């Protein structure tokens, strides 16, 4: 791992909070993600199951975590099972965690090799009144591949057909939504590394540069500052490409007079950041580009101001939509008649068709409940945009905010956001 070691106390605290939410005489099982294959004998880079990492900090494949509530023989807090290492693996893949290293990293006293799982767990499954199983229950999930956790769940239910199975997801979605001080440190570090990459771009961009060259500059700066890499597939969209919301080809040249929409950010210690800026290829915004950019920025700042404890997202989205509607009227993109004629789909959706905010944390689209009031300690993106295909102009502005008991804390407050600041830095090239 590139990032500095994380304190085991962080994961002990996470487990204790999770444990407090379980029913009596229960255990919960979390399974690592698969090492996904490519072709021949190749494999993709490994990405840990976020819930498992949150609870134990083990960033290695073939890992299994069991967390207990109470009333079990020996009163175990948790058991950890990891891939057994040997000299052959050390030579061909690199040294894996030893049992002692896993104890130190996770704060779990009892660590075993994966091959011991059945024999160690048999008496605990016998005593359990409830077995909590984990699953990726994200509302935006649209994945057909069966995960290692899904296979485990299916097999365990077949072996223990009379047991009472429950879901981990409702608990995990609530406790992961509110970040601890340690988590905020790592999200902030991801934001800081993102700032370094963005500032690098401001001195590099000029007419004729290709989008993929900007992507290369970003990943260079991210990796050299200990980031895992991109927190998500980077969007480097110049000119009309910015009107494609999930444009990922990044193959076009950046033309004089166009803007480049940069939606790319770093991940540090598995914690994500999420930034979007639009910058002029030649270093200067045109009058029209500045007008649209400033309109989006006003909506951005208004939306951020609404991220306070007790706010509900239905009201949040309504008020942001009203603000965006006013800006679109001022830009002459909407007419009063359009607003009066709107039905179930608001008129502003023609130019601003995506959501304004999502949870952020171990995942870019992190877990949490949008139907529940916002709480202090939650972290959200704020990312309004205006997209005008007929003008080849798409502008989105995105920062990350932590909800506090007073006003939202902008985790990207040091990243240039106003047109004047961006132009001034680009003039220094």
**227 token code pair:** 């980031």
User: Mean of the pLDDT values across residues 242-261?
Assistant: 97
Place of tokens 């000029």: 206
Q: What residues pair up with 68 in beta bridges, in sequence order? A: 27
Domain 8-176, CATH number (from 2.30.30.40, 3.40.350.10, 3.30.980.10, 3.40.50.11890) = 3.40.350.10
pLDDT at 92 over 90: no
- Residue by residue, DSSP assigns 98-135 as -HHHHHHHH--SEEEEGGGHHHHHHHHHHH-SEEEE--
Least trusted range by pLDDT, from 49-53, 83-87, 134-138, 200-204: 83-87
> In this structure, how many other beta carbons lie within 10 angstroms of the beta carbon of residue 226?
15
pTM of the model: 0.96
Supply the pLDDT for residue 110.
97
pLDDT at 362 over 80: yes
Mean of per-residue pLDDT scores for the chain = 95
User: Cα separation of 231 and 251, whole Å?
Assistant: 20
Domain spanning 181-426, CATH class: alpha beta
pLDDT band of 36, cuts 50, 70, 90: confident
Supply the pLDDT for residue 142.
72
User: Mean of the pLDDT values across residues 353-357?
Assistant: 97
pLDDT band of 360, cuts 50, 70, 90: very high
- The ranges assigned to domains in the chain are 8-176, 181-426
């Amino acid at each position: 791992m590139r990032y500095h070691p994380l304190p085991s106390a962080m994961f002990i605290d996470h487990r204790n909070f999770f444990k407090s939410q379980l029913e009596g005489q229960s255990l919960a099982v979390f399974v690592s993600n698969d090492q996904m294959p490519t072709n021949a004998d190749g494999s993709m880079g490994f990405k840990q199951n976020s819930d498992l990492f949150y609870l134990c900090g083990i960033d290695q494949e073939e890992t299994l975590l069991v967390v207990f509530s109470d009333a079990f023989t020996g009163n175990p807090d948790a058991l950890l099972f990891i891939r057994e290492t040997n000299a052959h693996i050390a030579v061909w893949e690199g040294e894996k965690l030893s049992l002692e290293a896993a104890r130190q990293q996770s704060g779990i006293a009892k660590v075993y090799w994966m091959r011991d799982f059945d024999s160690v767990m048999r008496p605990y499954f016998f005593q359990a009144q409830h077995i909590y199983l984990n699953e990726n229950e994200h509302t935006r999930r649209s994945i057909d591949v069966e995960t290692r956790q899904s296979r485990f769940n299916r097999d365990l239910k077949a072996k223990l057909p009379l047991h009472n199975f429950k879901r981990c997801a409702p608990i995990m979605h609530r406790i992961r939504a509110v970040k601890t001080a340690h988590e905020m440190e790592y999200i902030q570090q991801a934001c800081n590394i993102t700032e370094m990459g963005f500032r690098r771009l401001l001195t590099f961009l000029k007419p004729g540069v290709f989008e993929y060259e900007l992507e290369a500059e970003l990943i260079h700066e991210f990796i050299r500052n200990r980031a895992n890499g991109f927190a998500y597939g980077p969007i480097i969209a110049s000119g009309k490409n910015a009107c494609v919301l999930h444009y990922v080809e990044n193959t076009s040249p950046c033309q004089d007079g166009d803007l480049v929409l940069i939606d790319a950010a770093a991940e540090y210690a598995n914690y994500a950041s999420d930034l979007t800026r639009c910058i002029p290829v030649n270093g200067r915004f045109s009058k029209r580009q500045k007008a649209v950019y400033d309109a989006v920025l006003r909506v951005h700042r208004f939306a951020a101001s609404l991220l306070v404890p007790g706010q509900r997202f239905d009201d949040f989205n309504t008020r942001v939509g009203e603000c965006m509607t006013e800006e679109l009227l001022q830009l002459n993109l909407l007419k009063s008649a359009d607003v009066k004629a709107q039905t179930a789909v608001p008129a502003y959706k023609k130019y601003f068709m995506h959501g304004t905010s999502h949870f952020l944390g171990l995942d870019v689209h992190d877990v949490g409940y949008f139907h529940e009031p916002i709480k202090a300690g939650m972290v959200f993106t704020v990312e309004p945009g205006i997209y005008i295909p007929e003008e080849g102009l798409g502008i989105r502005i995105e920062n990350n905010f932590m909800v506090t008991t007073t006003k939202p804390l902008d985790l990207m407050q040091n990243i240039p956001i106003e047109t004047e600041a961006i132009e001034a830095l680009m003039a220094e090239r």
